[in-house]
Amino acid sequence: MDKKVEAKAKKVYNELLAKETPGTPEQERIIAKSSLYSYSYASHIFKGPFPLGEKAIAKEAYLSYSYAKAVIKAPFPLGEGMIATDALATIHYATQVLKAPFPPGEEAIFYREKDQSRFAHWEPHEREHLITRYIMLCIANPEHLKRLLQYPNVLPVLHALATGQVAPF
């Protein structure tokens, strides 16, 4: 994003935050150009969906997940494409928003070399905990479980779960 556009959105957002009032249509158009300030505006000032800023929010995986969970309290289809590129956003979106598997994001979860998010750099036991939560969403449904078995590192996790061992991630 252009630094001038982001700085202008930040300035307008901070002015509105200080007043604790929603902005004018012009102020909202300025904020809507920034993913961070669109999310923050929806969450902290508008306290509800901010359709004008959703296109910007959808450009950031974790903000898309956060918007779905904290603001609209429902799936956010516009942001799902980006959510699917980030393992951490995928796991949280699936477990906390959808409460169901999110197949588009499984490659980011199970092929760490494809995931360049902050999740890829977590300690193994932290990744293991979150990945196990995701797998637990899938275990009850044979079709979901069958799909997960296509990933080579899922079987060792299932074995570890079945035997009470620590999963090898």
- The answer on 119 and 91 residing in a single domain is yes
CA distance 35 to 48: 15
- The answer on 66 and 138 residing in a single domain is yes
- The answer on 64 and 123 residing in a single domain is yes
- The answer on 158 and 90 residing in a single domain is yes
Of 57, 59, 60, residue with least CA distance to 42: 57
Of 164, 163, 98, 105, residue with least CA distance to 131: 105
Q: From 57, 77, 92, give the residue that closes a domain.
A: 57
Of 55, 45, 54, 114, residue with least CA distance to 84: 114
**Total domains present in the chain:** 2
> What pTM value is reported for the model?
0.88
- The answer on 32 and 74 residing in a single domain is no
With a cut of 60, say whether residue 24 has pLDDT above it. Answer: yes
- Residue 68: both structure tokens together: 């779905």
**Cα radius of gyration rounded to whole Å, the chain:** 19
- The answer on 63 and 137 residing in a single domain is yes
**Contact residues for 106 (Cβ-Cβ < 8 A; gap 6+):** 90, 147, 148, 151
Q: Give residue 50's Cα distance to chain centre.
A: 17
- The answer on 2 and 33 residing in a single domain is yes
- The answer on 80 and 34 residing in a single domain is no
- The answer on 169 and 108 residing in a single domain is yes
Q: pLDDT tens for residues 97-156?
A: 999 999 999 988 887 655 556 666 677 777 777 888 898 888 888 899 899 998 887 887
- The answer on 90 and 163 residing in a single domain is yes
Give the residue numbers spanning the domain of 23.
1-57
Residue 157: which pLDDT band, with cuts at 50, 70 and 90? confident
Q: pLDDT tens for residues 11-20?
A: 999 999 999 9
